[in-house]
Copies of this chain bind each other. A is one copy, B any other.
């Protein structure tokens, strides 16, 4: 069964080079990197090689500033809870935005139950934050600003450098959830000026269940996982070495292929947006037209439900998502779409189309063909759409 995968954000395939490296690691049967004998030395060397590759991808100056985690979610939990707990004596106030991923939102919800207070800054209709709002939200007891680098539903990229200048001046720790950016667009932690940066391997064709956290040296933070002395004493637990080796190879490839991948993604994005605009009426393309991820298009298809579109596309062997896989089981309308001004109904009619380096224009054309039909079918069944269409026709006749 050949499936057109336009849900790369949830399910990026492993690249052949990554598969090979992981299979080699499985066959090699590495020991525990912390062991004191020869078997351990080989494992420790493999761990180190992977760390260097990942550090290079984000231009981390010292390799020890990158630790491996089990997911972007763990990295975010580590960053936010780790700073909150370590700095509670200084204050319990945190600044964030209205459009963060659930990993940040729900972590903050847990912290609120522990008497932390959160100020959430709004976004404009493109989903962009105004750095001045962040500056205004920072108080004397603010210990952390956590703002995502790019949004996983609409792709909009935030002015992280400008926010970092504010946090530096105000001596507040700054974390950015860059899970959807690292490996997709150039990320340079030194240039960004952040203290903490979360990312995950599966966003750049590495394995699921492996993440990374950049921790600038000197950042006051507790571990999330206490125990052994692994990861420079910052994250206990025997390492998922097979996954980490896969992440290293994926990071290396992402760095080397970055320009090509971005160029290809932009071409796909343009074709997709032009096709959507030309062939389907009553849609919104969400997110910033320029300052956004090249590998994502969010489209709100008015008068119908995204879930219905996904199911019908699935019948035609096209995989696409209404929103992030992490929230697929949740029933609420997307807080991101509501924040940029979509109403509840339009938010429910939204597709997040994500594609990759191997996505072809032919696949996009096939998707557009099927989508056009699916949307027509669903709209014909929609009483709301029939009513709106009738009103439009009457308006045209009257005009």
Contacts and interface: CB of A to CB of B under 8 A. Distances in A.
Interface in A6-38: 7, 10-11, 13-14, 19, 22-23, 26-27, 29-32, 34-38
B208 A310 contact: no
A188 B28 CA distance: 33
Given A10-B34, A202-B238, A226 B22 contact: no
Given A70-B240, A326-B238, A39 B11 contact: yes
Contacts of A226: 73, 77, 102-103, 106-107, 109-110
Interface stretch (A49-57, A227-235, A260-268, A369-377): A227-235
A322 to B, nearest CB: 7
A329 B229 contact: yes
B236 A10 contact: no
Interface in A318-355: 319-322, 324-330
A287 B72 CA distance: 41
Contact of A107 (B31, B227, B242): B227
Nearest to A110: B226
A320 B35 CA distance: 9
Contacts of A165: none
Question: Size range of the interface on A?
Answer: 35 or more
B7 A37 contact: yes
A227 B103 contact: yes
A35 B70 contact: no
A22 to B, nearest CB: 5
Given A230-B326, A242-B243, A236 B11 contact: no
B239 A208 contact: yes
Interface string A58-77: 00000000000111111011
Contact of A320 (B13, B37, B73): B37
A383 interface: no
A19 B27 CA distance: 7
Contacts of A69: 70
A363 to B, nearest CB: 14
Among A23, A237, A238, the most chain B Cβ lie within 10 Å of the Cβ of A238
Interface of A: 1, 3, 5, 7, 10-11, 13-14, 19, 22-23, 26-27, 29-32, 34-40, 43, 69-74, 76-77, 85, 88, 101-104, 106-107, 109-110, 113-114, 200, 202, 207-211, 222-230, 236-244, 307, 310-311, 313-314, 317, 319-322, 324-330
A73 B227 contact: yes
A314 B202 contact: no
A33 to B, nearest CB: 8
A195 B140 CA distance: 42
26 contacts: A3-B38, A10-B31, A10-B34, A11-B30, A36-B310, A36-B311, A36-B314, A36-B322, A37-B313, A37-B320, A69-B70, A70-B71, A70-B74, A70-B240, A71-B237, A73-B236, A103-B237, A107-B226, A200-B238, A207-B240, A208-B242, A209-B243, A228-B325, A229-B329, A242-B243, A243-B243
Contact of A242 (B11, B22, B324): B22
